Amino acid sequence: MSCLIFLMTLMMGAFAVASAYPQESSVFDVTQLTDRIYKLSTDGGGYTVKIIVSVGEDGILLVDAGQKATAEDLKKQVLEFGKGIPKYIISTHAHVEHTGGNSIFGAAPVVIGHKNLRTTLRSGLYLFDEFPDESLPEITFSDSMSLFFNNEEIKLIAYPGAHDNSDIIIWFTESKIVCVGALSNGSHFPSVDGGTGDIRKYPGIVGEVISILPDDVTIIPGHGEDGTIDDFRAFHDMLVETTNIVRTEMARGKDAATLQEEDVLADWASFEGSYVNRNQWIQYLARGFTNPDYKKTIFEPMYYAIKEKGVEESITHYHDLKNNHREEYEFDGNELFYIGYKLYLIDKLREAVKFFELSTNEYPEGKTTWMCYHFAGKIYREMGDKETAKAFLKKSLELNPDDTEADEILKELDRE
Ligand SMILES: [Zn+2]
């Protein structure tokens, strides 16, 4: 498990919550792309989350269903098309900002995805999301399939193993639109799942996708800007060139820190985005080239320990794993934050706060330590313990002066 890479993926979610929290009802922007294809976009917390909708005489088909937090809004928006609930939901890949809304329409829509999607959504950190059965794909494939819907052939083709292990593309052949999920991030560096993705495969897989597409298609990534095939080629060139530079320099004995210091990717500064800058991209690449065989994560054993033995006993179990099974499991300083954050999202606040506190004790100088204080502070506030809330939020602000939300809550608490 790659700490940084997984951290990035998760921090996207963390910021989504941090910034989406006060707004409560997030709204989708609706753009009509062709006679039958619409795009719903929303701010996922500093990055765009897109859902593509096919509307026609056969009814509604969705590509991705967005975050769980926006699922009710999605439902409202989809019903406004006047064609009822979707017949099909196709998932571009497993990540929660694409699959979190899968179950909002109940069991009726047929979910379609890569063969690995079922197992992935029921493993590792995804266990904490407790995806209901209706979120999982009923139709899976590992090569390709076609769906004939709203007067066009929709080709689904599997390209797993780069961004995560369930990446597919969805090609609306008449509409000349291709949803590529995270196989493009528009004009920005992409992210790579630390558990199931592999940065070394990214350039090759993206090259394969480009090779089968005609010149007149519009490329729609799950997050980054829509573009032409030439834009997609520019993204691919960036992948090939930055990968070659980092690989070559590392073969000369340089490490990630040196490459960052030498700013070897300065020419690709324009690809920096809201969650991956060029130094982080160097980290992703360096990690991919140096340590591809990751250890297991503690998420599954911890999930079952909490479920079966309760939170206190699960913490004893954590210490046992850390003290006696270090060879088997990865302890990267962030795993406790992930667990706390997932518990927080499913409203298990008492359990969540235990993990945030454990994390600050185990890793007082970790990358996620400020976030542990941040969320623990918010939970204590919700529980009515104003003084502890203040102490934790102050600590968060001390570690991360950019934590404006903590600052605002502290001011509110002082006024109360
Ligand atoms: Zn993703």
> Measured in angstroms, how far is the CA atom of residue 207 from the centroid of ligand 1?
18
> Measured in angstroms, how far is the CA atom of residue 95 from the centroid of ligand 1?
5
> Measured in angstroms, how far is the CA atom of residue 94 from the centroid of ligand 1?
7
> Measured in angstroms, how far is the CA atom of residue 67 from the centroid of ligand 1?
12
Q: Which domains does the chain have, with CATH numbers?
A: 3-231 (3.60.15.10), 332-415 (1.25.40.10)
DSSP 93: S
pTM to 2 decimals?
A: 0.87
pLDDT of residue 194: 79
> Measured in angstroms, how far is the CA atom of residue 162 from the centroid of ligand 1?
10
Please, what are the averages of pLDDT over each run of 10 residues along the chain (416 residues)?
39 39 62 96 90 98 95 95 97 96 97 97 93 96 98 98 96 98 95 88 97 98 96 97 95 94 95 88 89 80 95 95 91 90 92 96 92 96 95 95 94 91
pLDDT of residue 177: 98
Pairing of strands 168-172, 152-158: antiparallel
> Measured in angstroms, how far is the CA atom of residue 412 from the centroid of ligand 1?
35
pLDDT of residue 332: 81
> Measured in angstroms, how far is the CA atom of residue 193 from the centroid of ligand 1?
7
Among the listed residues 69, 123, 92, 44, the one whose alpha carbon sits nearest the alpha carbon of residue 299: 123
pLDDT of residue 252: 93
Scanning 252-368, the segments in alpha helix (DSSP H) are 256-261, 278-290, 299-309, 311-324, 335-345, 349-362
pLDDT of residue 15: 39
